[in-house]
Amino acid sequence: MYLPKHFAEPRIETMHELMRAHPLATLVTITSNGLDANHIPLQLVADATLFGTLQGHVARANPLWQDFDKDVEVLVIFQGPDAYISPSWYATKKETGKAVPTWNYAVVHAHGMLRAIDDTTWIRKQIEALTTRSEAPLPHPWAVSDAPDDYVEKMIAAVVGIEIEITRLSGKWKVSQNQPAENQTGIVEALSSNGNSAMADLVEARAKTADQ
């Protein structure tokens, strides 16, 4: 990933926050047919390792858990908020006309070794943890135990667990840090009025950090 210094996010906890908030990840592996990408919700588990561990599961019919290069790290991409940025939002455009569109985004790239876990106890625990976290904001959370036991066992038998111990993390927050304050103000106002409060908050937060 191309990572200019002013867009780099080195803080592990900040990257972890994005990974938890946007768990649907793109898992890129090297297979017998070349590069492959799968889109899988992965749960970040904070453990004794520096960067943490990712856990999830895939359909047993998915060749991912068997057909991957076990000697090469996989790449996991977590995509956070993004937004098209119009030059019409820049105060400086009125002064010079020198402005072009761009795209703001926040992403985290995680690297690590993938291993498959074909263990029903581990898989059930992972599914229960992921479900509990995902259902927590709902007014009436659903639990795995709400389904009949024989049905749950059948569903668990149809999947295989995966785990990735993270060895490297890279964060890129491209959120208008390279723009002057008056342009950042215009971007925040426009994004807020357009309903993209998530990106507006990121731009505003980084602008405040730069002022400190």
The 10 Å Cβ neighbour count of residue 61 is 10
111: tokens are 């690297």
Whether pTM exceeds 0.85: yes
The closest alpha carbon to 76, from 24, 11, 3, 122, belongs to 24
150: tokens are 């024989």
Q: How far apart are CA 16 and CA 177, in angstroms?
A: 21
pLDDT at res. 48? 79
Listed in sequence order, the DSSP H helices in 56-196 are 91-96, 120-135, 149-157, 181-193
Q: Which residue numbers in the chain have pLDDT < 50?
A: none
Architecture of domain 5-81+103-176: Roll (2.30)
3-class SS of residue 32: coil
pLDDT at res. 149? 94
Q: How far apart are CA 18 and CA 77, in angstroms?
A: 11
CB within 8 A of 75, min separation 6: which ones? 27, 28, 109, 110, 111
Q: How far apart are CA 19 and CA 46, in angstroms?
A: 12
pLDDT at res. 46? 86
CB within 8 A of 116, min separation 6: which ones? 65, 66, 160, 161, 162
Summarised one tens digit per residue, pLDDT across range 137-147 is: 999 999 999 99
103: tokens are 């795209």
pLDDT at res. 212? 54
Q: Which residues are 83's β-sheet partners?
A: 104
pLDDT at res. 211? 59
